[in-house]
Amino acid sequence: MIDTATEPAVRVRNVRKTYSTASGTVTALDGVSFDIDAGTVVGILGPNGAGKTTLIKSMLNLVEPTAGQIEIYGIDVANGGSELYRTVSAMLEGARNIYWRLSLRENLYYFTSLQGIDPNSVTDDNLRIVESLGLTEKLDEPVNSLSRGMKQKAILACVLARRTELLFLDEPTLGLDVEASIALQRTLRKMTAERDKTVVLSSHDMDVIQELCDRVIVLCDGELIVDDSVSSLLKAFKTQSHRLRLAEPLPERRRRRIEGLSSNVSWTDNEYFELEATLEQPEDYYELLSILEDAGARIRLAETQTPDLEDVFLHVTNNTADPIEERAVRED
């Protein structure tokens, strides 16, 4: 019997995955370790080729690690069998996930049955899932006839219909237009708030991650480089970037005073007289305004930008990973 109450939902220990390619050995994962507590939403992030897809497929036992161990609720995924899969459902990027020639209603019936649940006993609950996704009018249409966004939501409906404790959602908003993406985010937010689920979420959409996740795990070149809460990461990068456009250039001594507030100050003295400064403390901005006031400077435009999760992500990864993972997966 799998203990979903006391064991971590996921435990990853020293997982390593290498692939043999025509050009040599590629390391997709290099000693990755972490735990995911039950009832949390964790984002898996990384540049293309960082190892995200290999990691997710390893946790689902679709890829066999070269070394290390992965457990789901205390059970080794390599030996968990059907009992393990009754606790897990997944929405994978690039996979159809459901049967496109069947209607959504037929898919829901089938995937509910896979869980050992009588579909007729949960018809009302399944209809509520469908309604929350805006798919009620599409229930009896073949999935293949639906739009890209509708297909994504149909897949999510079937994932939810299995009623597993642990969900893997790999790029759930990929390819959706803005309206469909926002609607799907709203559904995911409601699902994670109301249902006792553990969710592992991978997405290049930082708004989705920041909105839904309690914590993020960042991979780069197959290594885990960040494992922290979203709030802690944003707090750590609490600097603000300010851009001000002035009516006239500043005297040199005033510029030196502003440069003393931050090591990251730049000037533009062409058609416009602009300065850009990154400041760590709110009081530094007030000091900047005081310097400008003392100089009699006239401010034509003032903009302030607070870092979001995308800024943090780009900072910690330096956006330098090579797309080795996709090559390795194709060639394996």
What are the extents of the domains in the chain?
A: 10-230+312-331, 239-306
Residue 307 has a pLDDT of 63
Q: Dig out the tokens for 82 from the structure.
A: 């059907």
Condensed to tens digits (0 to 9), the pLDDT of residues 42-94 reads: 999 888 788 898 999 999 999 999 999 999 999 999 887 778 888 999 998 87
CATH number of 10-230+312-331: 3.40.50.300
**Mean pLDDT for each 10-residue chunk of the chain (332 residues)?**
74 95 90 93 86 92 94 90 85 85 95 91 91 90 91 90 90 77 76 78 82 86 85 63 81 86 76 71 78 84 69 61 37 34
CB 70 within 8 A of CB 53: no
CATH number of 239-306: 3.30.70.260
Residue 325 has a pLDDT of 38
Condensed to tens digits (0 to 9), the pLDDT of residues 247-266 reads: 888 888 888 888 888 767 77
Strands 75-76 and 67-72: antiparallel
Residue 271 has a pLDDT of 61
Residue 240 has a pLDDT of 63
- Rounded-to-integer distance, Cα 155 and Cα 152, Å: 5
Residue 69 has a pLDDT of 96
Q: How many CB atoms lie within 10 A of CB 22?
A: 6
Instruction: Count the residues in the chain.
Output: 332
